Chains A and B, each alone.
Chain A
Amino acid sequence: MNRARTALLTAAGTLLLLAAMEAAGRLGVLGESWPPLSQVVAALGDPVTRDLLGRALAATATAAGTGFAAGALAALAVAVTGVLLPVLKAGLDRLAAVVHAVPLIALGPLLITTVGREGTPSVIAALAAGFAVFVAATSGLGAASEAHRDVFRALGASRRSTLVRLQLPAAVPLLLDGLALAAPAAVLGAVVGDWFGAPRGLGVLLVSSMQNFQTELMWSAALSAAAISLLAYAALAGLRTAAARRFA
């Protein structure tokens, strides 16, 4: 009953939003750069446009996916290092904060000269996703209760054994929360990374269609980026709900 109601409200909200977009476009209240939604969808009927968008989408999704995986693994490795070598913990926390504080845009020129134009989107995606995962992993690894820690200490558990048998399993729900937040960040990072001269990608398409006043194309690129963000988020959030029952 309750779940059905939630689903109904979600569907109603989505419909309302889409209808508002359509209406705003038809009435032209937000100017010429806001086309009706139906017109954006209709533009996808053209095979050339569809092909163009498809390739851009594939490029961005690949960059976001590799960046997400690499960023998440690196962040987890850094968080685990902080647990195994407590002397490094404070330093690693600060390093992560400093890296995160540097605007991603400012790293562009540096990345172009180091990893090249093609690699830049995935690296920026990795940096964007990595911080969210790092924060989640750090708090997740500290989430085990005091009583559990006492039991492990009294059992004479090594730091590694405590990590593997207590801290990592206890971190799973928070870690999946972090991953769910990191996925949209990775997509955004990949799109931003496209702007530094990547050969193709949604970011490239956004900029070129904007400059050429191809409003429908620009919107379809923007909506595609939003769609993959939402899909990745929904998938990981679902996984988290399933895991919460198992691990908490």
Chain B
Amino acid sequence: MNTVAVVHEYHAGHPSGLWRWITTTNHKDIGTLYLCFSLLMFFVGGAFAMLIRAELWTPGMQLMDPEFFNEMTALHGLVMIFGAIMPAFVGLANWMIPMMVGAPDMALPRMNNWSFWILPFAFILLLSTLFMPGGAAGAGWTMYPPLFLQSGVAMPFQVFAIHLMGISSVMGGINIIATILNLRAPGMSLMKMPMFVWSWLITAYLLIAVMPVLAGAVTMMLMDKYFGTSFFNAAGGGDPVLYQHVFWFFGHPEVYIMILPAFGIISEIIPTFSRKPLFGYTSMVFAIASIAFLSFIVWAHHMFTVGMPLAADLFFMFTTMLIAVPTGVKVFNWVATMWRGALSFETPMLFAVAFVFLFTIGGFSGVMLALVPADWQYHQTYFVVAHFHYVLVTGSAFAIMGAVYYWLPKWTGHMYNETLAKWHFWLSVISVNVLYFPMHFLGLAGMPRRIPDYPVQFTDLNQIVSVGGFVFGASQLLFVACIILCVRGGKKAEARAWDGAHGLEWTLPSPAPYHSFAEPPAPNLIWTHPYQGS
């Protein structure tokens, strides 16, 4: 190499203590902040879910009034989506992308800090609405008018909290794109990037494209309530359904924002523990890109019962079912990667295999929901709740947990406690199915979602669901225990913590140095194909 790389390191004047975390511009510090914040929010959102399941233990009202129940369903959704899942993926992106592309840090480190530090303020704003006169807004995470317009003092606070989250996400997305496009090590062409990096490049694009649309939607609502506009008022020539269109134009790409990075993670874990290159790398890239493209033209499948013209129903039904094709390509490729591989089942692999099975169940129920006539039956029932929890919990959250176990040795320099982690996995995977699988039956039998009471014939299934929920919630304490124990000590991890692991992050020592790659890695370290090495 004829270039000499020097990193300007500023050791002098590096603050310590809390001020270090507040002012840090380091991708690992910020990644850690994101992941810790996400774990905290996972438990806050989880607590709301426990309250919901406790109230649904028997028919009739026991623990709370219906308004508070509605606040719980709304905040559970918002906290889990914007507070737990998305920040966890951004945290993983922060930690891993610079290491995977051979860079010292993110492209825009100061903005990186700002992206994170907006989030705690946004959630203080959102959660503070619980303590306001009239309580939080109980209009679901989707905030449909006119119901959302009827919330009290909480409404503008929640709208501004959404704005802050949007600003944070857009800046995060910009930073990730700039890092991937500009800081790759010499020799790493786009089609040599690890799949996790590819998935985030496309996710970041989706984030930048749709978060501003959500900001616009809630701004219109704010204007309708406080400045007399008529966006969602039919008397003035507007339409409440307009909100649903704008919201879901954001909302559907949003659900892929929460699953594409999971696809990337699974595509990293499965080859490692199958000791084989990923099957069909190119088709994986094109599958993610097609899913991202399709995500912009399927939004109204969330609105089949709203009274759209038949042509719209049909269009959105067909485009939605089309998504099954690239998704099927991905599932096929994961299975083909495992086919005749030298498999071993450490905890990350267990989560990945569970992901492939359980996410696929969520995918199948998605295809069922895509059918307009069937959706008229399933809409607003527990069947929908079952569907999106299969893709978001056993999909996204399982991928995040798998990723944490997979990369913890790289982050901490220690191996986690495999026995404890396996307990966490098996308890989670069993309880999560007890929790969500019966919801399909409840939904098919006609139990509506977002209702605090139900007819007695649903009691047995609801109690099974609640038991699953409590066990799943409690099992996550094991996750925290595994992480804390691993941070504090454990078997020393090697640079290549897993013998089948490929990629630049495994060429760095464990724990990785503060500035990942002070010099660009030698081109021969980059696989000609990400998983085809020596």
A binds B: no
Chain A contact residues, CB within 8 Å of chain B: none
Chain B contact residues, CB within 8 Å of chain A: none
